[in-house]
Structure 1
């Protein structure tokens, strides 16, 4: 199921282009268009879920696939040993801008503190 108004659903369906890093039947990973690190890849389920909680409650197996795909991306990008960060913003106060669950995979440089308050 996709949302025709969702930016990431448009990427899944090919309406909008992306630079794919990994793709399975149910998961897509692609490069962020405004990267914050040498490795900055977004990992999404192909089906539309607004946030992490909705995905986890609706399809735990798919949530696990998304998480495993993030680890596969880190390995493919060569950042497993040096370290990588996985980030999921959920809701507007957390900074979520696209309301289709997505995990950011960051790596390739020292990433500094997790939160700047």
Structure 2
């Protein structure tokens, strides 16, 4: 039997090890569909990653299909809830980002949503 969120065609990722508890994380929210935890290399005073517990082939946003609508919506609603959580260091708004694929800066091939805040964001980012 494979671990949480891993299908035969999906090699395990760092995030699968966090979901299984093999690697510790500062979890801020979770349910049966997703897990949210603090980024270990934050891009701002507040930086949380939100991941689906079951990738179901969703290694990146570019692989999304109609069957992923529910989980994608769930991740975005969770991002909104987290971005409003003052106890996590968020202020009046946040930058919500999905890096898609190698050219988009995605480092872990397990779809994840970044919620970054705690200060005014600049454009271009950096």
TM-score (normalised: structure 1): 0.88
- In structure 2, stretches of 5+ residues that fail to align are none
- Residues 57-108 of structure 1: CA distance to partner in whole angstroms, max 9, x if unpaired? 432111100111111111223636x221000000101100000000100000
Superposition map of 1:1-117 within 5 A:
1-2=5-6, 3=10, 5-48=12-55, 49-76=58-85, 77=88, 79=90, 82-115=92-125
SS at match of 1:59: helix
Cα–Cα, structure 1 residues 46 and 93, in superposed 2: closer, same or farther, change >3 Å?
same
TM-score (normalised: structure 2): 0.82
Task: Note the aligned Cα RMSD (angstroms).
Answer: 1.7
Distance 1:78 1:55 in 2: 31
Indicate conservation of the 8 Å contact 1:56/1:63, yes or no.
no
Distance 1:23 1:53 in 2: 24
The structure 1 segments of at least 4 consecutive aligned residues displaced by more than 2 Å after TM superposition are 53-58, 77-80
- In structure 1, stretches of 5+ residues that fail to align are none
Indicate conservation of the 8 Å contact 1:45/1:102, yes or no.
yes
Q: How many residues align?
A: 115
